[in-house]
A and B are shown apart, each in its own frame.
Chain A
């Protein structure tokens, strides 16, 4: 089974602070790690490889230092790493990112499965995985909590819902995004760490991929960040009492007041 895992390097802390003047993350002094949700995707890919054989290729788009994230994935058992890195890709939103990653995956050639974490811990959009599958025109199953069976190029998985789960069969190749319930990621091994240090990381730039300039980087990104702020702490709220029609009327009036 030929598996591609898409990962992202993110700041370690869950309490990222934002510079109020520039609306950007304060990255100084914050260690970079592999997006925690992606660790489950990496682990699942290694388990599938151990079961069915094949190859795991880890891919990330980011600055040159994202090389460390790829090497960490290799220390866990991935075979190869690909860094999609170019100034032309800077400022990409989820559209441009998924378009660019899909372009890099096309260049890699044949594959059976793409795995992604359900979302990144910094952006929290959960859009890049589904975006890649759309650009590649392959089926997607999001929030997968278990891979039940793989047989004759068909995969049966359990997809988490707010209450319970659904069982979905998809032809391969397909893209799955996985949730933390799917497995418990392993720690690296010493041999894996040594291998990762010597591993050669392939690097793809715009000249290698020849992507549509209108769809990459900042100018290929339809998303505009208007404002970033820390949401105010939720206060106690207000409890309306009385008969239901009475409460409804009070509520409508309150909303009206709020709007004005």
Chain B
């Protein structure tokens, strides 16, 4: 389908595709196996300028364009959902500074994030605070010119490898959700250490670690927006980043379809390529159609965000939920087309199933997304 992309959008797509094919595809299996952070690929993505896609030009970026970010993430994910999320998670960690940072904060942090010299991470989740973000226990106590952070964040993508972290902590527990605040924390700050690195089912090229804060002293200047704005920062950030997760899922789905169609044309049984059998053809037809439907949803949502529309939570949730459900279904069907070979790690398709699964879980489980969608639909009809 032709999405009438601009010349710039086509360039982003073409460049990301080139990186995916030439630099990611050859190393995807290696990083999946070793679980090392793919610094060499991150450097290629940085040199290409793709980290600038979510940062304003005034700070060394290319201007914020969520559709561009989606196109880049989709293409990178076609080759490896794990490497792509290292990139997308940096966008997630950067958005709070872009959206709520003061001029000084933007000047200090954004240029290095735009050039890809440093990557970012966003830390909300805690062992007891997953879908229920209001249960956050990490505290930030004001002490003169500083805040003292104490607590534990876990499942933090890019944790340990990122240099710049945006951390949500409670400045006033009595106020509940309105008592949370967002802070910029630099790697190397005394009292800020990393816990265990998770051994994951999929997206294994990306790092997922615990962040541990023990009397970690943060300058007051590192508070984002104002005290009590933590949840607003989080929600606005997710509105911007959810289309990116949807694009990651979309890329995984497309990558799985690409592989399975190629395989179906090469694999012969009963003297014919299996792509000539209707059973396989109907699977391919459904996969391709669902991917295209997801793409329409993702690109349209990204365009709404880029057009400055507010209140895109419903569309964002729809795009994330639908694209990730499609990625799960399509990757499983793709593996089915590969038959017994698909179950073996010698073939690349099983990795897509593992990588797809997380997209239904993180950045709000698909059940939470359905809550958001349903509430919004009900609210709209009540008017």
Contact = CB atoms under 8 A, between A and B. Distances in A.
A188 B15 CA distance: 7
Contact of B47 (A187, A193, A194): A187
A58 B12 CA distance: 24
Interface centre among A186, A187, A190 (most CB of B within 10 A): A190
A191 B48 CA distance: 8
16 contacts: A187-B15, A187-B22, A187-B44, A187-B47, A187-B48, A188-B18, A188-B48, A189-B47, A190-B48, A190-B50, A190-B53, A191-B49, A191-B62, A193-B11, A193-B15, A197-B11
Contact of B52 (A188, A190, A197): A190
A187 B22 CA distance: 9
B23 interface: yes
Given A187-B47, A189-B49, 14 more contacts: A187-B22, A188-B15, A188-B48, A189-B15, A189-B48, A190-B11, A190-B15, A190-B48, A190-B49, A190-B53, A190-B62, A191-B62, A193-B11, A197-B11
Contacts of B48: 187-190
A186 to B, nearest CB: 7
A187 B44 CA distance: 8
A194 B50 CA distance: 13
The number of chain A residues touching the other chain, given as a range, is under 10
A114 B62 CA distance: 34
Main secondary structure of the interface of B (DSSP, over half): helix
A85 B19 CA distance: 32
B7 interface: yes
A189 B47 CA distance: 6
Contacts of A194: 8, 11
B71 to A, nearest CB: 11
Contacts of B52: 190
Main secondary structure of the interface of A (DSSP, over half): helix
Interface centre among B18, B48, B62 (most CB of A within 10 A): B48
Nearest to B22: A187
Interface residues of B, number: 18
A193 B50 CA distance: 12
Interface in B91-131: none
A175 to B, nearest CB: 29
A239 B62 CA distance: 66
Nearest to A192: B49
Nearest to A189: B49
Nearest to B12: A190
A9 B272 CA distance: 39
Contacts, number: 34
A186 B47 contact: yes
Nearest to A197: B7
Contacts of B14: 193
Contacts of B44: 187
A102 to B, nearest CB: 33
Interface string A65-101: 0000000000000000000000000000000000000
A6 to B, nearest CB: 24
Contacts of B12: 190
A187 B49 CA distance: 11
B239 to A, nearest CB: 25
Contacts of A187: 15, 18-19, 22-23, 44, 47-48
A42 to B, nearest CB: 15
A187 B19 CA distance: 8
Nearest to A190: B49
A194 B62 CA distance: 11
Contacts of B49: 189-191
A140 B12 CA distance: 39
* Nearest 10 CB-CB pairings of A with B: A190-B49, A189-B49, A193-B11, A189-B48, A191-B49, A187-B18, A187-B48, A190-B15, A187-B19, A190-B48
Nearest to B8: A194
A197 B11 CA distance: 10
Contacts of A190: 11-12, 15, 48-50, 52-53, 62
Interface in B142-191: none
Interface string B39-57: 0000010011110110000
A119 B19 CA distance: 26
Nearest to B62: A190
Contacts of A186: 47
B260 to A, nearest CB: 25
Contacts of B8: 194
A164 B53 CA distance: 46
A197 B15 CA distance: 14
Interface centre among A188, A194, A197 (most CB of B within 10 A): A188
B268 to A, nearest CB: 22
Contacts of B62: 190-191
A207 to B, nearest CB: 33
A188 B50 CA distance: 11
A190 B68 CA distance: 11
Interface centre among B7, B11, B52, B62 (most CB of A within 10 A): B11
A190 B49 CA distance: 6
Contacts of B7: 197
A193 B7 CA distance: 10
Interface string B254-289: 000000000000000000000000000000000000
A71 to B, nearest CB: 11
Interface string A172-194: 00000000000000111111011
B24 to A, nearest CB: 11
Nearest to A188: B15
A82 to B, nearest CB: 23
